[in-house]
Structure 1
Amino acid sequence: MTSGIHHITLITANVQANVDFYVGFLGLRLVKRTGGYEDPRQLHLFYGDYAANPGSLLTFLVWQDGSPGRAGEGQVSEIGLAIDPASIGFWLERALRHQVKVEGTGQAFGETELRLRDPDGVVIKLVGANLPPLDAPKASDIPPEHAIRRIRGATILSATPEQTTAFISNHFGFRPAGRDGTTERLVSDIGDTVDIRDATGFWRGAPGPGSADHIAFRAPDAEAVHAVERDLAKRNSSLTNLHDRNYFTSLYVREPGGVLIELATDGPGFTLDEPLETLGSTLFVPPDAAAEAADIIALLPQFGLPGEERVVYRDLHYIHRLQTPEHPDGQTIVLLHGTGGNEADLMPLARRVAPNAVLLGLRGRSTESGVQRWFRSPAPMQFDQADIRFESGALEAFLEDARSAYQLDADKMTALGYSNGANLMGAALLLHPGLIRRAVLLRPVQVLKDVPAADLSGTAILIVLGQHDPYRGNGDDLAATLKAAGATVTVKTLDAGHALSDHDAPAIAEWLQAQAAAGPI
C-alpha cells in the first residue's frame, strides 16, 4: 500500500495562541474544528493545506489551561514541515518579526533545518526539502514560493529503536534510508520520513500540552486498514482499536517503544460534510453527541482566526474563561464550579438560563488529592476559615479587575455558584458586602464559623436546595444568615439531591426574569 504520514496529533493549552501560530505565522489553513470523538466536550482543531490533503495535517486536542506535558521517551518529539531549500532565510526573518522562539539552524541527513518552538514548546523544524507542494493556502501573507509544502517528517524517541524501526517498516510501508548518529531514518513511498532516535535512559514522556498524542500513517482505504489489523492480530501485537472517525477509518496500536500509532484512510476526507470553500468555518459535533450539541458548544473555548475579533485575556487572580454569545445583551454571569469541576462546567447550564449573557467561568485554586476546589477542607464539613477569608478577598479583587479588563457592567452582573463554589460565594458576600448585587447559590452550606456583621441590603440572592440533599439543612442555615444581614433571599427547594437536576435551569431562569422585570435593586 502507499505509505506516508497522514497527520500528527498534539496537545495545546492555549487555543488562541495555537491558532495564531499555525494559521497566522505558519500560514496553514484551519480545515476542521470538531468536538473530539473520544470526548465530544474537547475541542479538536485540524490544520493543513487548502484542500486538507493527508500528509499536510497537524491536529490539536485543546486542553485549555491544562498542566504542561513533557516530550520524552515513548513519544513523537519533533515535527518537520517541508519548505523550499531557498526559504530558510525568509522564515528566520519572519520568526524574528513575529517573536517566535528560534533555536537556530542545523543540518540533518543533508537537509538544512530551522528549529522553532510553538507556543506550547513543541519543536517545529522547517526543513529545506525538495518535495513537491500539496495544495498551498489561498489567503496568506506568505508568498507561494515560501509557503509550507507539507509534513516533512517526525522524530520518535524510543528506548527500543530496533523494534520500533522494524514495527513501522513491517506494518506501515516505510523503509530504512540511512543513519545520522543515534537516529535511524525511515522514508515512505511519497518521500516523507520518520526518524527513530535512540532514547535509552531518556526520561519518559508525559501527556499534556506541549506533547504529541499520536502519529497517523496513511492507508488508501478501509480494506487496507482491516488487512493491517488482521496482520497485527496474527502476530500477537499490542491491543488494537478500530474506529470510524467519519472523515476516515482509523486503527490505533502502540508500537514496541510506546508511541501511539494510528492508521487512517485517505478518504472520505473533511469535505464529506463541508464545502471546500468554507472548510473549517463551522464546528462539527460527532453524530452520537448531536443531542448535546448546544451544551458542547457552550463548553468549548472560543477563539478568533487572524483578523477576527477575539478575547485578549488578562493575567488575573484566577484561571478563567469568557464565553461570548453572538448577540450579547449586556448581562454577565460569573460561574463558580463545584468540587472537582473547572471553569467551563457550569457554562451549559448558564447558557440555557441566559442565552445572550457573557459567561465568565473561574477555576478554583485549591487542590486536594488532585481535586479542584475553592478553599481547603481537611475533612467533610470542616472548612479552613483562614483559607475561606483569603480566597474571598481574592474573589473580590478578581471581580474588580475583571470588570475593568473586560468592560463588564457591574450592575448587570450575576454570580452563579454550585456546591463548593456556592459556599465560597456565600461566604464572600458576608465578608465583602457589595461584592455583587445578584447571586444564585445552588446546594450551598454555611461555611463561616464567625459571621461578621454585614449589611447586604440591596443584594438579591436565590438559593436552590435539593429536597433529598443530605446537606439541605445547612443550606437553610445560610439562607437565614443572609436574610439576617439584610439580603433579599428567595429559597427554592427542588425534587433533587445534591447533584444538579433538570429542574435547576427553569428555576434560575424564572428568578432572573423576575429580577429583570423588577429593575435595579
Structure 2
Amino acid sequence: MTSGIHHVTGITRRVQANVDFYAGFLGLRLVKRTGGFEDAEQLHLFYGDAIGAPGSIITFLVWEDGAAGRVGHGQVGEIALAVPPDSIGTWFTRAMSAHVPVQGPSREFGETVLRLRDPDGVIVKLVGADLPAVAPLPDAIAPTRLRAVTLLTENADETAQFLARFGYRPSVTEGAIRRLVSDSDVVDVRDAAGFFPGIAGTGVLDHVAFRARDAEAVRQMRLELHDSDVTNVHDRKYFLSLYVREPAGILLEYATDAPGFTVDEPADDLGRRLFVPPQDAKRAEDLRVLLPQFAMPGEERMPMRDLHFVHRFHQPEDADGSTIILLHGTGGTEADLMPLAHRISPGAQLLGVRGRSTEEGINRWFRRFDAVTYDQQDIRAEAEAFVAFLAEAQRAYGLNPGRTSILGYSNGANLIGAILQLYPLVIRRAALLRAVQVLEDMPAQEPGALVGQDVLMLNGAQDIFAPMAPALEGALRSGGAQVESRTLPAGHELSDEDLTLVRAWMAEARP
C-alpha cells in the first residue's frame, strides 16, 4: 500500500515573513499559490521540492494579522524535514546568521536534530537523514523531504491504532514519544495528557495529510470510516482527499498523489502566478486584489510598516501615483473594499485599514451603546489615533497627499465624517457610502473652516439609518465643505450605482 506523509498544513499571520522563511531561508520551492478551496478569500501557499512531490510539501493558509492559536493536545505539534546528515553544522550557522531561533543540535531516536522556529513560532526540525529528494532543489543541502510530524494527543494508544489505517506501524519509544514508521517516513505520537488543548489560529499546524494510492483508495477509506466524522471526498484540483479527526481530535487528511501541481502549469513555471478555484473563476480579478501580496526572495518589494492600525497595502501593476485609503463597515476587514476600489480606479494604490474597536468579536471603528447611540469619547479617541496613522502612513509609504482620497463604508464612513469635522483639512477628498452623523456635540467651526474639503455622500433611500445622514451633510456644508450628496434606490448595502458614481467623482479629480 502507498503510505507516508503527503503534506502538512499550517496557518500564518504574515505572508511575507512566511515566504522569506520557507522559500528564502530553507530554500524550498513555492510550487503553487491559490485561493483556498473552502474559502477563496484565503491565500494558500504550497512549498516543496522542485516539483512539489508528495512527501515534500508544506502548505500554509494565510490569515493576515489573524488571531494567534495555541499549541496543545489534539494538534500536529512539530514538523521535521530531512537534510543531509553532514549539513547540520552548516544549518546551525545559517540559522545563527539569519537570526532564526534555533536549539540543538540534539539526538532524537538516533538522529541529529536542530529545532528552528518559523516567524509564527511553528517548530520546524531539521533532521540529519539520508533521504533522497524526488526532485532535488538547487541548494545541495536543502531539505529533501518531510521526515516526520509530531502529534500531540491525550490518548496515545488510540491515536497510534488509528494511524495503522494509513500504513504506520509501531517502532520504538523514547520517554513520552512513541515512534510509528511507514515505508518512507515516521510519525511521533507524543502523550500530552494533562496539557492544555490546542486552539486553532495563526502559528499552529492545522492538519497532516497522508498519501493515498489513487481515488479508489480514498473512496474505500471513506467507506471504512463511515462511523466517524469523515467528510465527503473533495476535489482539490491537485489531489483528491477526505478529512477525518482521529480519536484525540487531530485533523487528518487522506490525499492522492495525482494529478499533482503540474496539472495547470509546467514544472519550470510552478508557483509564479495565482490560481483561483474553478468555482470562483467569475471573481478571479477581485480575488487577485483581495488576497495579500508578497515578493519572492530577491524580488523588489513594498516593505510593510508596523503602524498603529492593522493595514494592507495593494500595489497595482500599473500604478498611476494615486492612493485610495479604505475604511470598512462593521464586521469588515482591511481587504473588504479593495475589489470595489480597484474597479473604481485600477491604477490606484490601495491602503486598507482595520478598525481597532470590536463588538462581540467583529471589527468596528468605535464603540456604540446601541444601533444609533455611539460612545462619544471613543469616537474622538479613535479619530485622533487615525489622524496620527494618516501622517505615519504618508511618511512610511511615500503617499502624495494631493493624490490621496479616502473611501469609507457604513461605520468606516462614519469615522471619516467625524474626522472631517474634528480635524479640518486633514482629509481633503472623501467618499462616504451610507454615512451618518455620529457626533452629538459638533465642534464649533470658524466660518469657512472646512473650505477645501471635497466630499461625496451616497445614501440609500431604503436605508434605516438614512434619516441620520442629513445632519452630517448639513454640518459639513455649514463649515464650507464642498458636498455632493445623492440618494440611491438602495438600502444600507452597496449597489452598482455606488461604483459608477464614485468612479465618476474620482475621475474629476485626476490631473
User: If the length of structure 1 is used for normalisation, what is the TM-score?
Assistant: 0.96
> Structure 1 counterpart of 2:460, which letter?
G
Measure how far apart 1:27 and its partner are.
0.2
- Where does structure 1 lack aligned partners over 5 or more consecutive residues? none
RMSD: 1.0
1:26 matched residue in structure 2: 26
Partner of 2:382: 391
Aligned twin of 2:121: 121
| SS of equivalent to 1:59 | strand
Q: Is the 8 A contact 1:249 1:264 kept in 2?
A: yes
State the 1:514 CA deviation: 2.1
Alignment of 1:342-381 (within 5 A): 342-381=333-372
Asked if 1 retains the 8 angstrom alpha-carbon contact of 2:230 and 2:242, the reply is no
**Partner residue in 2 for 1:210:** 203
State the shift of 1:310 in Å.
1.7
User: What amino acid is the match of 1:375?
Assistant: F
- Deviations along 1:405-432, one digit per CA (max 9) or x if unpaired, are 1001000000000000000000001111
Contact 1:241 1:253 in 2 (8 A): no
Question: What SS does the corresponding residue of 2:183 show, helix, strand or coil?
Answer: coil
SS at match of 2:22: helix
Cα deviation, residue 84, structure 1: 1.2
Q: Which runs of 4+ in 1 moved over 4 A?
A: none
Aligned to 2:187: 194
In structure 1, what is the equivalent of residue 451 of structure 2? 457
Q: List aligned pairs for 1:316-327, cutoff 5 A.
A: 316-327=307-318
Task: Indicate conservation of the 8 Å contact 1:436/1:459, yes or no.
Answer: yes
Match of 1:161 among 145, 156, 168: 156
Amino acid at match of 1:214: H
In the TM superposition, what whole-angstrom CA distance separates every residue of 1:148-179 from its partner, at most 9, and x where no partner exists? 1110010000101110100011x111111111
Partner of 1:481: 475
**Cα distance, 1:134 vs structure 2:** 2.5
Q: CA deviation at 1:71?
A: 1.1
Distance in structure 2 (CA, Å) of the matches to 1:356 and 1:159: 54
- In 2, Cα distance between the equivalents of 1:272 and 1:358? 34
User: CA–CA distance in 2 between the matches of 1:240 and 1:66?
Assistant: 26
The equivalent residue for 1:180 is: 174
1:469 aligns with 2:463: yes
C-alpha distance in 2 between matches for 1:240 and 1:488: 57
Q: What is the match of residue 44 of structure 2?
A: 44
The one-character-per-residue Cα deviations of 1:445-467 (angstroms, maximum 9, x if unpaired) are 10011111331101100001011
Partner of 1:82: 82
Contact 1:103 1:116 in 2 (8 A): yes
The answer to whether the 8 A contact 1:13-1:120 is kept is: yes
What amino acid maps onto 2:220 in structure 1? A
Count of aligned pairs: 508
CA contact (8 A) 2:159 2:248 kept: yes
Partner AA of 1:7 in structure 2:
H
Secondary structure at the aligned position of 1:241 is classed as coil
Distance, in Å, in 1 between the alignment partners of 2:366 and 2:115 is 43
User: 2-side partners of 1:48 and 1:24: how far apart?
Assistant: 13
Residue pair 1:103, 1:117 contacting (<8 A) in 2 also:
no
The answer to whether the 8 A contact 2:49-2:133 is kept is no
Aligned to 1:289: 280
- Counterpart residue identity of residue 92, structure 2: L
Aligned-partner Cα distance in 2 for 1:56–1:492: 57
* Alpha-carbon distance, 1:2 to partner: 1.2
CA positional deviation for 1:86: 1.0
5+ residue gaps, structure 2: none
Shift of 1:343: 0.4
* Aligned residue in 1 for 2:503: 509
Following the alignment from structure 1 to structure 2, what is the Cα–Cα distance between the partners of residues 133 and 244?
26
Q: 1:417 maps to what in 2? A: 408
SS in structure 2 at match of 1:482: helix
> Do the aligned partners of 2:7 and 2:208 also contact (CA within 8 Å) in 1?
yes
Residue 401 of structure 1: CA displacement? 1.0
Distance 1:103 1:496 in 2: 60
1:238 Cα deviation (Å)? 2.8
Does residue 221 of structure 2 align to residue 228 of structure 1?
yes
